[in-house]
Structure 1
Amino acid sequence: MMNRLYNSLEPRVMDDDMLKLAVGEQGPQEEAGQLAKQEGILFKDVLSLQLDFQNILRIDNLWQFENLRKLQLDNNIIERIEGLENLTHLVWLDLSFNNIEAIEGLDTLVNLEDLSLFNNRISKIDSLDALVKLQVLSLGNNQISNMMNIIYLRRFKDLRALGLSGNPMAEAEDYRMLIWAYLPDLVYLDSRRIDEHMKEQAEIKHQYSIDELKHRENLIRVRLEDEQARQKELEEHKAAFVEHLNGSFLFDSMYAEDVEGNKLACLPSVGELLEAYKDKFVIICLNIFEYGLKQQEKRKAELDTFNECIHEAIQENQEQGKQRIAKFEEKHVLVGPTLPVLFPASCYVGARATVGLNPMEGQ
C-alpha cells in the first residue's frame, strides 16, 4: 500500500506553492509551455490537476479551481474528504490509497461521474445522494461488511461499474448474486463484465426480496412526491403572503396557547359560539387567501411585462449600436500595415488546452 510508505515523511499542507508547482509541471511544454508561462496560468483555467504521492494530510486551497474537471489525490495520507465545495464541475475524482474513514464533503459535486475511494478505511456507503450522474464507483479494499449497503446504491440509475472486492462483505457466499439482483443496471462488478444469464438467475433467486424492496421504494417515492408538492404549494403561498390562510391553521394556532379561552370553552353553550366564531374566522381567512393569490398573479403578469419591455429595449439599443458601428466603419476605414503571424491561432489554443487549461478563456 503505497500511501503507507509516506508515513515516515512530514505531512504536507496543500498550499499555493504546491499548487503552482503542480500546475506548472503539468502545463504545456516547450514553445507552448513558454507561451503559457509568459501569459500566466490562472487556477480557474485549469481543467485537470494531479496531486498524487505528495504526502498530503488535508485537502485545502482548491477554491480557485472552479472549472476543474479531473482531480487526482491518490496515494496521500488524507483523513477527511473536505475542501471540494467549489469544484462543482468536477467529473473525475481519485481519492484512492488514503486514510479516509467516512464518505462526506461531496454534496456540491453534482456532475461527478467517476469516483475512486479504493483502499481506504470506509465502513459504510452513504452521503453520495448528490452524485446523481455517478457512473463508476470504486470502493474496493475498505472495511464495508454489511451487505445492506448495496440497497443504498439502487438510487444511482446511471451506475454501471462498481468495485467492492477486498471488503469483508465480498467474502459472503451470495455476494455477487445479491449485487447482480439488487443492481440490475450494473454492467461491471469488480472489473469484470456481468454475464446477463447469471444476472437473470440472480433476479429469479431473489425475486421475493426485490419485489418487497420495490414496494417500499414506491411508498417512499410517493411520500416524497407528496411532500415536494406540499412544499412547492407552500412556497407559492409565501410568495403571495397568504401562507396557512387556506384553512383553520391561523385560528387554531391563536387558540392553541389561549388558557383562558380553553377554560371558557368548557362553559355551557360557549362551545357552540366558539365553533360559529371559528367558521366565520376561517371564511374571512379564505377570502384573504383567494384575494392574495389573485394579486400575486397580477404582480407576476406585471413583472413579466416589465422584464419583456426591458429585454426589447436592450435588443433595440444593441441593434442601433450595431448600425452606428457599421456606418462608422463604412466612413472611416483604417488600413494598417500587415503584421506577420508569429503563431497560428490553433497553436495558441493548443497551448492552453494541452494539459488541463480552458482554451476558450479570455477569447
Structure 2
Amino acid sequence: MSRLYDTIEPNVIDEKMLQKAVEEQGPQEELGQLAKREGIDFKDVTQLQLDFRNILKIDNLWQFVNLTKLQLDNNIIEKIEALDSLVHLIWLDLSFNNIEIIEGLEALVKLQDLSLYNNRISKIENLDTLQELQVFSIGNNNLTTLENVVYLRKFKKLRTLNLTGNPLCENEQYSMFIAAHLPDLVYLDFKLVDENTLLDVVQNMSNLEIAESKLVKYNEDISQLSDTLMTLEMQTVDQLEVRGRSFDRLNATVLCFLIFFHTMAQCRDLENHHHEKLLEIAINTLEKIIKSEFDDELPDAVRLLFVDKDTIVNAVNASHDVHLLKIDNREDDIVTKANSWASSVHKNEISRNRNRVREINQYIDQLQEELDNMEGLEQME
C-alpha cells in the first residue's frame, strides 16, 4: 500500500485549522463570522470534525477537554497519539488512515464507539482500559489470526463488531468461531449474530424435536429483535429531541445567537447615540447661520435644510428612522434564515425516523419469511 502523502501535501493540526473546524460547525455563514470575531473557547466544544484534511500527525487537541465526539477519518495519520487529555471522549473515528498499531488510547476510559476501519492494523491489542466499549469497527485491515479476536472477550459491554474485509474472514469457521468466543455479541459485520449461526444449526439438525424447539426460540428472538430495534429508534428520537433543546449539545449555536442579538443591540445603541450627536450639531449650526456666525460654505441643497428648527429636526429624524429600519430588516433576515434552518432539521429528522421504522419492519418481515420457509420444509420432511 503506497503512502498517500507521496502525492498529497500533509497538514498539521494547528490553531488555524482548529478555529476553522469549530466555526464550520455553525448553522450558517453569518453566525459563524460573528463567532469568529468574538471567539470560541475550545473547552466548551463537545464535538469536533477534522476529516478529509490530509492530517499526518495528531496534535494540539489538549484544549478540548470536554470533547465527547472526534472525527479524524480520511486523513493520512500513521500513529495514534496526543489523545490523553480527551478523557470524556465517547465516540472516536480514525477510519481510512495509515495506522499500523493500536496504541495511545489508554486514557479514553469512557470510549463507547471506536472505528479503526480501513487502516493497516495486523493485531488487536492495547485496548484493556476501554471497558465501556460497545461498538468496535476494525474491518478492512490486515488481521489474519482468528485467535487474536479472543482478546475481545474481556470487553463485557461489546455488542457490535465489524471485521469484514480482513483475511481472517476467509476462514470457513469464521462466523461460528466468533459466535462461540463472543457469546454476548449482538451484531457481527452488520448482521445479527443469530442470523449467522442459528440458521446453519437448524438446517442441519436431524432431531425433529430439537429443531422445533430451536425454531420456536428463533421466533421469539425475531419478536425480541423487533421490540429492541423499535425501542432503540424511539430512544434515538427522544435523544435527538433532547439535544435540540440542550444548551450543552448546541452551545456553539446558542453562543452565535447570543452574540448576534448582542451585536444588533449594540448597533441600535450606536445609531441612537449618532442621532443625538447629529441633532445637537445640526441645531448649533442652525443657530450660527441665523446669527451669521457660520463662516463655512454650505452646498445649496444642505443650506435649504437650515431654514428653521422644524425643518432640520425633521430631516435628521428621517435619517435616523431609515438607519433603524435597515438594522431591523437585517435582523429579521438573519432570524428568518435561522428559523428556516431549524425547520429543515426537524423535517429531516421526521423523514429519517419514518425511513428507519420502514427498514426495521422490512428486515423483520424478511427474517419471519425465512423462518416460515424453514418451518414449511420441516413439515414436508
For 2:190 and 2:176, locate their aligned partners in 1 and report how far apart those are by CA, in whole Å. 16
Normalised by the length of structure 2, the TM-score is 0.51
Give a deviation string over 1:178-211, Cα, whole Å, max 9, x none.
Answer: 0011101111111111226825978xxxxxxxxx
Q: How does 1:114-153 map onto structure 2 within 5 Å? A: 114-153=113-152
Distance (whole Å) between structure 2 residues aligned to residue 35 and residue 155 of structure 1: 48
Would you say the 8 A contact 1:123–1:145 is kept in 2? yes
CA contact (8 A) 2:175 2:197 kept: no
1:45 is matched with which residue? Answer: 44
SS at match of 1:63: coil
User: What amino acid sits opposite 2:12 in the alignment?
Assistant: V
1:16-31 correspondence runs (5 A) = 16-29=15-28
Larger Rg: 2
Is the partner of 1:44 in helix, strand or coil?
Answer: helix
> Equivalent residue for 1:68?
67
Equivalence for 1:100: 99
CA separation of 1:164/1:9 partners in 2, compared to 1, >3 Å: closer, same or farther? same
CA distance in structure 1 between the aligned counterparts of 2:81 and 2:142, rounded to whole angstroms:
21
Write the distance in 2 (CA, Å) between the matches of 1:15 and 1:169.
39
1:321 match: none
- Cα 1:39–1:68, aligned 2, differ >3 Å: closer, same or farther? same
**What corresponds to 2:307 in structure 1?**
none
TM-fit CA distance, 1:24: 1.1
**Cα separation, 2, equivalents of 1:45 and 1:126:** 32
Letter in 2 for 1:198: T
The 2-side partners of 1:32 and 1:79 are apart by 36
Aligned length: 215
Q: Is the 8 A contact 1:112 1:131 kept in 2?
A: yes
**Partner of residue 167, structure 2:** 168
- Aligned pairs (5 A) from 1:119-268: 119-195=118-194, 198=197
8 Å contact from structure 1 (residues 114, 135) kept in 2: yes
Q: Which whole-Å CA distance do the structure 2 matches of 1:350 and 1:85 have between them?
A: 23
Structure-2 change in CA distance of 1:7 and 1:22 (3 Å): farther
CA–CA distance in structure 2, aligned partners of residues 351 and 101 of structure 1: 35
Cα distance change of structure 1 residues 351 and 87 upon mapping to structure 2, 3 Å threshold: closer
User: What does residue 246 of structure 1 align with?
Assistant: none
Deviation at 1:11, TM superposition (A): 0.9
User: Which residue does the alignment assign to 2:12?
Assistant: 13
Q: Secondary structure at the match of 2:24?
A: helix
Per the TM alignment, residue 352 of structure 1 is displaced from its structure 2 partner at its CA by: 2.1
Per the alignment, residue 108 of structure 2 pairs with 109
Structure holding more helix per residue: 2
Q: Which segments of 5 or more consecutive residues in structure 2 lack a partner in the other structure? A: 202-244, 259-381
Give the secondary structure class of the aligned counterpart of 2:17: helix
Identity percentage of aligned residues: 63
Q: Which moved more, 1:37-46 or 1:181-190?
A: 37-46
Closer/same/farther in 2, CA of residues 71 and 154 from structure 1, 3 Å limit: same
Cα distance change, pair 184–33 in 1 and its aligned pair in 2 (3 A): same
Q: Distance in 2 between matches of 1:356 and 1:136?
A: 32
- Say which structure, 1 or 2, has more relative contact order (CA 8 Å, 6+ apart): 1
For residue 149 of structure 1, report the CA deviation from its aligned partner: 1.2
1:141-193 superposed Cα distances (whole Å, 9 cap, x missing partner):
10011111121100111101101111111111100000011101111111111
